[in-house]
């Protein structure tokens, strides 16, 4: 069982707001994150894949390829963007750290399998140094 | 399977000493850590919970609530304290990194379940940058 | 010569835009930072003061006091805010890392001198891990 | 389930080259890593063991012992070395991050079991801050 | 002007207490740091020297030698110790970050000059990631 | 006085060897670094410039431009290279951290002045987390 991880970063704005709620309820639930002017973070992303080590190249996947996939599928869409206003999946889903991790998984799962011949194993998103979410897919959670 | 982690820090003193042993045996086993004047660390704590993402809030748990729980249940008792002399669970248990991780788990498991509606998944304690322990509860160790 | 530094963090949104310029000129100069939806960062702030060590307390300044001053004068105004839209000094000044460092200096210089009895020596602002600005005041640049 | 991890670092040179391939094929696959003058990294190694906490010592394993084992079995052989030319297991295996993780596992598994009375759980190797591989042994991958 | 820096760490206990004051005054001034059971930190030390680059060796000073000097003069005395009770210079001086930086300077200035042929330029002590003190000696503060 | 810093990294091999010396003298002076197979590091570079903040752009220099200059002048020559064998300035100068800092200064001083309109203020090179050199140019050392 071998896992290979590549880290990347992006800077984006967001805010937390449930349009079905009153302003009072939003502020009560989300605190300062409900400020609709938005605030932002330097997000750090860790993308982990697993597979067999190719005996010829010594690679699970080509890390240069993995970097490019992350850039094309995620960073080009998220970096220097306002997540609520400019990223389709957050038009109606609140861009919490948990939901960002799930959204990144959805963007990467197929390319990693089809083009990379590997299995997406974990997506970790750090919102700050002190907060991060891990999404492991709709599996039985057996590997982390 | 989604995991959410919050990090916190505390500064505390400790030493390693088994009262059933002679001084020689303590020094032979624990080296410089057996100095009963104590020494200290900046501990870093990572508390990981898992659960479902609430479709309304986008949260597994409210991170502000999780921060408060960690402060009330752990930091208020451990921070700026001498673990051997001032923290009940270390009166008769040596405060190794392993035992601190288990003790933090015991302090957090019930509040995370009862008040947070989530499941404690992992407690990681860094004693230094180079040493850390993970406690996963009395499970089959299937998730980390 | 003794310098004492306290670090703090805040998360904010910003964009770069000169209203005297056309959109083309803004994009040519500021690239992705000219996106007026804004993007954001986890800023890290380092505030350095110098003075004499009080022989009674062993302090240059009381670090708890310094933390409170940074919170009241800077973090309460900047954290979880959109710098361009919500912070007065950036209504007509572009919130580059350089200008943020200067603005933080202006907010802290008098309180550090009057209430703290010390001299502000340096303000460092990290926009990301890889970019930071230092402002040393309108001195001859003799200390950094 | 308790896991204990010790981190260590070593500095080494390597390059990627498959002697069965032409120079063109090596450069196409490995890019700048195919430069046979070699280049190098500060590798960071995390060695994780699991076991029971000894109720007398509070230890899963003695961390001083674990540090010594890592030094003798890995660092003495890898640190300040050219992996391709001086480390036997890389004479015919390309020293990718994946293969280094597997090789470190093979060096440590028996000593950790026989002399340490614990079970090697994970070997993580960071090649840079942004790239790391985890090897979990030939298990069912249930714990990480 | 070339500066060379070596970092080292030590773990120690301390507390803040002025024996000329009442308990009330100590707690009012030092807060949780006045707890006489002590608490502790992982201190990080940065020792900076300046001098000429030796054209034959390419060294300002031999970093292995500098490491040994720091170990013998500082770490052997401070590491895994209670600073107030076991380190002579803190018997009557409160071990604040500022005073530790000055004390390390006094321990290193002569060996760096006499045995190393270089000039001690700066001692930085981190008490935590967020707090550090720099001592530059009794100079005019021209270099930092 | 405003300083702006950009960080970059490169991975390279090197060894320490003075051809005027015997092997014994090289090993006695340079220890494991004298291994002529070479070893390597992930170097981190910090390039600091100073100047006036342009009131129109808010920039001391354009950080995108500074990044490009560092890439063209330094990284394209040093990254994934063997410094002793492939970088001209180290053909007859030992690539110590000190000498790398000076060499990077020489590569950047003129472009920063001529094309950037700013003044190179400091080049810092980290060989590892624990070792770094700062070169401030042939100034009087007044700013660091």
Asked if D133 and D98 count as a contact pair (C-beta separation under 8 A), the reply is yes
What integer pLDDT is reported at residue C139 of this predicted model? 61
Where residue B38 falls (left for φ over 0; alpha for ψ -120 to 50; beta otherwise) is left
Low-confidence ranges of chain C (pLDDT < 50): 140-144
Tell whether E119 lies on the interface with F, counting CB pairs under 8 A.
no
Q: How far is C85 from chain A (nearest CA, A)?
A: 8
Residues of A in contact with B59 (CB under 8 A): 96, 98
Planar angle of CA C37, C38, C44, nearest 5 degrees: 165
**CA–CA gap between residue A118 and residue E70 (Å, rounded):** 48
Average pLDDT of the segment spanning B29-50: 97
Mark whether A127 is an active-site residue: yes
Q: Strand, helix or coil at C11? A: strand
Three-state helix/strand/coil letters over chain F: CEEEEEEEEEEEEECCCCCCCCHHHHHHHHHHHHCCCCEEEEEEEEEEEEECCCCCCCCCCCHHHHHHHHHHHHHHHHCCEEHHHHCHHHCCCCCCHHHHHHHHHHHHHHHHHHCCCCEEEEEEEEEECCEEEEECCCCCCCCC
**CA–CA gap between residue E52 and residue E119 (Å, rounded):** 10
What integer pLDDT is reported at residue D58 of this predicted model? 96
- Given a cut of 90, whether residue B20 has pLDDT beyond it is yes
For residue E36, how many other CB atoms are within 10 A of its CB? 11
What integer pLDDT is reported at residue E116 of this predicted model? 86
The answer to whether F3 contacts C138, with C-beta atoms less than 8 Å apart, is no
- Given a cut of 80, whether residue A141 has pLDDT beyond it is no
**Annotated active-site positions of E, please?**
33, 80, 127
User: Where does residue C84 rank: exposed (0-12), middle (13-18), buried (19+ CB within 10 A)?
Assistant: buried
What integer pLDDT is reported at residue A52 of this predicted model? 96
Torsion angle (degrees, nearest 10) of CA D46, A46, A132, B41: 20
Which of A31, A40, A30, A37 is closest to A94 using CA atoms?
A30
**CA–CA gap between residue C33 and residue F95 (Å, rounded):** 38
Of A132-136, B140-144, F27-31, the least confident? B140-144
DSSP E31: G
Q: Which residue in the set A99, A130, A139 is minimally distant from B7, CB to CB?
A: A130
What integer pLDDT is reported at residue F34 of this predicted model? 97
**pLDDT, chain D, mean:** 95
What integer pLDDT is reported at residue B69 of this predicted model? 98
Predicted TM-score (pTM) of this structure: 0.95
Where residue E94 falls (left for φ over 0; alpha for ψ -120 to 50; beta otherwise) is beta
Binning chain E into helix, strand and coil, the percentages to the nearest 5 are: 35, 30, 35
Q: Strand, helix or coil at E97? A: helix
Q: How far is F42 from chain C (nearest CA, A)?
A: 15
What integer pLDDT is reported at residue A139 of this predicted model? 61
- In chain B, the residue whose alpha carbon lies closest to the alpha carbon of E16 is B80
For chain B, list the contacting chains (3+ Cβ pairs, <8 Å): A, D, E
Tell whether A130 lies on the interface with C, counting CB pairs under 8 A.
no
Chain A interface test: which of C8, C10, C11, C31 (most A C-beta within 10 Å): C11
**CA–CA gap between residue A56 and residue A129 (Å, rounded):** 38
- Given a cut of 90, whether residue F140 has pLDDT beyond it is no
Q: Which residue in the set A85, A86, A128 is minimally distant from C42, CB to CB?
A: A128
- Given a cut of 90, whether residue D139 has pLDDT beyond it is no
Backbone angles phi, psi at E53, to 5 degrees: -80, 120
Of D34-38, D113-117, F21-25, F65-69, the least confident? D113-117
What integer pLDDT is reported at residue C110 of this predicted model? 97
Q: What single string gives the DSSP state of each residue in A37-102?
A: T-EEEEEEEEEEEEEPPPTTT--SS-HHHHHHHHIIIIIHHHTTEEHHHH-GGGSSS---HHHHHH
Task: Provide the CA B122 distance to its chain's centre, in angstroms.
Answer: 10
Mark whether C46 is an active-site residue: no
Q: Which residue in the set F31, F93, F135 is minimally distant from E2, CB to CB?
A: F135
For residue B52, how many other CB atoms are within 10 A of its CB? 12
F81, two tokens: 């290279």
For residue D110, how many other CB atoms are within 10 A of its CB? 12
- ipTM value: 0.94
Q: Which residue in the set B11, B32, B129 is minimally distant from E80, CB to CB?
A: B32
| Residues whose CB is less than 8 angstroms from the CB of residue F53 and which lie 6 or more positions away in sequence, other chains included | C96, C98, C99, C102, F2, F59, F60
Backbone angles phi, psi at E98, to 5 degrees: -60, -50
Asked if B39 and B95 count as a contact pair (C-beta separation under 8 A), the reply is no
Q: Which helix (H) or strand (E) holds A120?
A: strand A119-128
Mutual angle of helices C97-114 and C63-70, in 10-degree steps = 130
Where residue B30 falls (left for φ over 0; alpha for ψ -120 to 50; beta otherwise) is alpha
How many CA atoms within 13 Å lie on the side-chain side of B43?
32
What integer pLDDT is reported at residue A116 of this predicted model? 86
Q: Strand, helix or coil at A112? A: helix
For chain A, list the contacting chains (3+ Cβ pairs, <8 Å): B, C, D
Tell whether E98 lies on the interface with C, counting CB pairs under 8 A.
yes
Which of B107, B102, B94, B109 is closest to B125 using CA atoms?
B102
- In chain E, the residue whose alpha carbon lies closest to the alpha carbon of C65 is E29
Between the alpha carbon of residue A63 and those of residues A79, B32, E18, the distances in Å are 20, 43, 57
- Given a cut of 90, whether residue D142 has pLDDT beyond it is no
A48, two tokens: 């982990």
Residues of D in contact with F12 (CB under 8 A): 39-40
CA-based end-to-end distance of chain B:
12
Q: Which residue in the set F53, F142, F144 is minimally distant from C99, CB to CB?
A: F53
Three-state helix/strand/coil letters over B79-111: CCEEHHHHCHHHCCCCCCHHHHHHHHHHHHHHH
- Given a cut of 50, whether residue F61 has pLDDT beyond it is yes
Percent of chain F with pLDDT over 90: 94
Q: Strand, helix or coil at A10? A: strand
Tell whether A64 lies on the interface with D, counting CB pairs under 8 A.
yes
D39-51 and D81-82 beta bridge pairing: unpaired
The answer to whether A13 contacts C40, with C-beta atoms less than 8 Å apart, is yes
Torsion angle (degrees, nearest 10) of CA A32, A35, A40, A45: 70
Tell whether A26 lies on the interface with B, counting CB pairs under 8 A.
no
Count of CB pairs separated by less than 8 Å, A with C:
75
What integer pLDDT is reported at residue F139 of this predicted model? 61
For residue D114, how many other CB atoms are within 10 A of its CB? 8
Three-state helix/strand/coil letters over chain D: CEEEEEEEEEEEEECCCCCCCCHHHHHHHHHHHHCCCCEEEEEEEEEEEEECCCCCCCCCCCHHHHHHHHHHHHHHHHCCEEHHHHCHHHCCCCCCHHHHHHHHHHHHHHHHHHCCCCEEEEEEEEEECCEEEEECCCCCCCCC
Per-residue pLDDT tens, chain E, 144 aa: give them: 999 999 999 999 999 999 999 999 999 999 999 999 999 999 999 999 999 999 999 999 999 999 999 999 999 999 999 999 999 999 999 999 999 999 999 999 999 999 989 999 999 999 999 999 999 998 644 444
Which of C32, C11, C18 is closest to C94 using CA atoms?
C18
**CA–CA gap between residue A73 and residue E102 (Å, rounded):** 52
Mark whether A39 is an active-site residue: no
Planar angle of CA F56, F57, F61, nearest 5 degrees: 125
Asked if A13 and A81 count as a contact pair (C-beta separation under 8 A), the reply is yes
Can you give the C-alpha Rg of chain A in angstroms?
Answer: 17
- In chain E, the residue whose alpha carbon lies closest to the alpha carbon of F19 is E56
Count of CB pairs separated by less than 8 Å, E with F:
70
Asked if B12 and E12 count as a contact pair (C-beta separation under 8 A), the reply is no
Tell whether C78 lies on the interface with F, counting CB pairs under 8 A.
no
Q: How far is A56 from chain B (nearest CA, A)?
A: 31
Q: What does the pLDDT look like over E25-67, one tens digit per residue?
A: 999 999 999 999 999 999 999 999 999 999 999 999 999 999 9
Q: Strand, helix or coil at B39? A: strand
The answer to whether B134 contacts D56, with C-beta atoms less than 8 Å apart, is no
């Amino acid at each position: 069982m071998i896992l290979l991880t590549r880290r990347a970063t992006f800077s984006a704005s967001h805010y937390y707001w449930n349009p079905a709620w009153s302003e009072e309820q939003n502020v009560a639930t989300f605190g300062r994150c409900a400020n609709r002017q938005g605030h932002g973070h330097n997000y750090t992303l860790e993308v982990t894949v697993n597979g067999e080590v190719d005996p010829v190249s010594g690679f699970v996947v080509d890390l240069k390829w993995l970097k490019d996939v992350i850039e094309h599928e995620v960073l080009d869409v998220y970096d220097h963007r306002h997540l609520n206003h400019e990223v389709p999946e957050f038009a109606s889903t609140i861009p919490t750290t948990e939901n960002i991790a799930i959204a990144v998984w959805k963007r990467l799962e197929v390319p990693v399998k089809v083009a990379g011949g590997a299995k997406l194993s974990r997506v970790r998103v750090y919102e700050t140094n002190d907060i991060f979410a891990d999404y492991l897919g709709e599996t039985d959670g057996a590997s982390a």
